[in-house]
Each structure stands twice: as C-alpha cells, then as structure tokens.
Structure 1
Amino acid sequence: MKVTFKIWRYDPAKDVKPYFQDYTFDVKEGMTVLDCLYYIKENIDATLAFRASCRMGICGSCAMYINKKPRLACETQALSLGTDVIEIAPLPNYKNIKDLVPDLTPLFEKHKNVKPYIIPENEQEFLNPTGEYSQTPVELEEYLQFAYCIKCGACLAACPTVGTTPDFPGPQALAQAYRYNADNRDFGEKERKIQ
C-alpha cells in the first residue's frame, strides 16, 4: 500500500522554523513506523534525524507524535493506523533538537529530582548488610506496575499541565516517587516530598 509520511523537519543550523516534508512509498504488512523511518533514511533522505535503539519497546528512544498521539515508533504498525497519510512529529512539551529528536533533559532532571533509588533507614546496614532485604509477592505488587516505566517521555508530551507549567514534575517523576515510597525497603518519603 502506498503511504505518504508527512514528517516534521527542522535543522536549527539552517531552518528559520519547522516544516513538514512528504515521503511516499510502498509500505508492506508488518512494517512499523520505525521501519518506515529507517527506509526513508536509507533509501530516500539520509539527512532525516530521529532517535531509536532497541526496536523492541524497551528503551523508549523512538517515542514521537504519530498522527497526533504520543507512541513508540517501534511498536506502531504503519498499516494499522488505517490511513494512507501518516504525520510524524517530535514529542511536544520538549525543545526540538533536530527533526524528530526532542531534548529529553527536562524528563531526566525531573526523574533525578525525586531521588529514584532506595533510601535506607540505616545506611551502614544497607551498605554492609547482615541479612537479605527480601519482599513478599504482596509487598512487590504495591509498586511493581510503576517500576515498568521505560522513560520514553510520552507521558510528559501528553500532559497538559507540563505544557503550561514547566516546573510541574509530571506523571513520570510522580510515578517514580510513588514506586520508591511504596517499596517497604525504602525510608525516603520525606526526602522525596514533591513541592
């Protein structure tokens, strides 16, 4: 099926403002949006910039706006979008470095600020343990779903409060704060107080 990809282009070294550029080619069943971006880069336009790594929905590098929704390009089947025009832009609520590459520095700074690690009650015992820090399955369930975050940044892109209030920690940092506060091995809730 012939599909037109309308792709956000912006090179701060030469462009006054961003613009969309069209690329049309045959997309085969099973091709992801990321496969299509690689096809464009390897066969049509080597100047296209985007971020990707694992191709398996684990690293979060390929998060971008696909048809006006934040998605992982490696997990989004191009033909499953049900259209012959696919618009791709960088995640909003971030500075645009180049083309489809957002500056994720705010995401990582907000993550770092919530102290995303176990803060022990007794640091000496934690550094030189005399026993295990075991958990029951029930204790693990208290926070497990919040431990699956891959830090792709899509939640901050979709959050209207982040868009209007840059100091707001956002869903990723708040979820990570909860993940550690809910961990029975952690005693850092007061240090992690979100302002």
Structure 2
Amino acid sequence: MATAEAEAPAQEVGAVQAFTVTLIVRRFDPEKDAEPYWEDFDVEMYSTDRVLDALHKIKWDQDGTLSFRRSCAHGICGSDAMRINGRNRLACKTLIKDLDVTKPIYVEAIKGLPLEKDLIVDMEPFFESYRAVQPFLIASDKPEKERIQTIEDRARFDDTTKCILCAACTSSCPVFWTDGQYFGPAAIVNAHRFIFDSRDEAAQVRLDILNDKEGVWRCRTTFNCSEACPRGIEVTKAIAEVKQAILTGRP
C-alpha cells in the first residue's frame, strides 16, 4: 500500500538565479604597456561559481588575451594564487557568493615577485629559496623496505606536509615585499617538514641555512602568512618552532 508521502507530488526545485558581478582586473602586457592598469568586466555568475570560473568566462567570452595560471581547479596544484580584494587566495577555492557582490571584485597578481603578464608572476625567486633549504629527505641508511616511524614522530611535522607551493604565504609577507633576499615563509615551512622528520639526518644543515641574516630572524610575526595559506597551515607556528630549534641546537 502506497504511503501518503509517496503519493504526494514532488516539489519543484526552483531554478538557480544568475547575477551579474563586476571584476576589476589589474592588466599588464609587457609588449605594449609601460605600467599595469585596471580593467573592468561584467560577468554573469551563479552562487556555486568561484573566482576562477569568472576569469574563465572573461577569457573565453570577452577577452582572450587575459592571462593567468591554473591547472587542477580544485585547490591542490596551487597554480592560481592571486590577490582577490586585497587578500591572497586561490581563485579556484574562492566562492563568488562569499564576497560582497554588491561591490566590484578586485583581482591582481600576487605581490613581491616580478610581474610577467596580467595575473602571472615569475615564480623562479620563490623556487630558488625553496631549493636552497634542501627540501628532501637526507639519510645515509639503506633499509630493505620502508623507514619505520612512530605515529608521534610523524605528527611532529604533519602540518607542514600540506604545503602546495602556491606562494600565497610568501607573497603576503611584508618583509618579502621589501627584501628580495628573505627566504620567505614557504621555504621555512618546507625546511620545517624535514628538520622535524625523525628519519632525516640533515636537520642541522637546514638550521644553519635558516640561521642566516635572511633566514627565520627576518620574520616579524605579522601572521599574514598563516591567514593567507589556503591549506590552513600554521605557518607562523612552524617558523617559531624552527627559531626555537636554532636556539636550542636540536629539533
């Protein structure tokens, strides 16, 4: 026997309403522009769309010359880090509806790295600092299988394994903006990941590198980096732990 619920007609789901959003994008083409300039675009969006979707619509439907980086579009690759309304974010993780759509949305390239075109910066200075801290396991033993590690030892550096090298933290740092030699938060985070790894044998080497005048002591603990991290890494805490390891001489 059919139930009353089964006999009741299904409720119609209302159509998702579109709305128009204005994006003001900082443009720059080195082949024809002496200085960057702002250009506005009106885009029809839905509440489920993200800033990356808006940039795609601009590039595909309005101006094919708009240049930006993106790959996975799911917050994993870190390619589409940019400044959105003055804050470093991943465009693919920033929902349009979470912004104030009654006002224009400002989008520009991250700061502190050489601007190449529109929203694209030269990432080589960032990766140069990353490589300098030797972000890889250094161990002399050659186990027949895996290197055994306790749950507690693994937990010591779990947070800093989440880094996706998007540069959002480093390019949000005022010290990095003004000092082209500072390693920056991301490099220190990736050094932390191996300094506190019980299987690694080069912690002191990395601590010596970061004890340089452009290392951890340049950090002013403004917490910009922690706020900017799209993976929720406690960047400032990691930097503080590296400082403490330098002072005590051990991880």
| TM tier, smaller | over 0.9
**What's the counterpart of residue 11 of structure 1?**
29
Match of 1:184 in 2: 198
Identity %: 37
Question: SS in structure 1 opposite 2:89?
Answer: strand
Conserved? CA contact 1:6–1:21, under 8 Å: yes
- How far apart are 1:135 and its partner, in Å? 1.1
1:106 corresponding residue in structure 2: 125
The answer to whether the Cα contact below 8 Å between 2:43 and 2:57 also exists between their aligned partners in 1 is no
Structure 2 Cα separation of the partners of residues 117 and 3 of structure 1: 44
How many residue pairs get matched? 190
TM-score by length of 2: 0.74
Q: Output one character per residue of 1:60-114: Cα deviation in whole Å (capped at 9) or x when no partner.
A: 0000000000000000011210233100000001111100001111111111000
Residue type at the aligned position of 2:193? R
Higher relative contact order (CA 8 A, sep 6+): 1
In structure 1, C-alpha distance between the alignment counterparts of 2:145 and 2:171, rounded to whole Å = 43
Q: Structure 1's 21 and 183: CA in aligned 2 closer, same or farther, altered over 3 A?
A: same
**TM-score, reference length from structure 1:** 0.94
Q: Deviations over 1:158-192 (max 9, x none)?
A: 10111111111111111111110100000102221
Give the greater-gyration-radius structure (CA).
2
User: Partner amino acid for 2:95?
Assistant: Q
TM-superposition CA deviations, 1:7-66 (whole Å, max 9, x none): 011000110100010001221111100000000000000000000000110000000000
Tell whether the 8 Å contact from 1:8 to 1:21 is kept in structure 2 after alignment: yes
CA contact (8 A) 1:27 1:79 kept: no
For the 8 Å contact 2:43–2:54, the answer to whether it is kept is no
Q: Which residue of 1 aligns with 2:161?
A: 147
RMSD of aligned Cα (Å): 1.0
SS of aligned partner of 2:192: helix
3-state SS in 1 of match to 2:204: coil
Show the counterpart of 2:47: 29
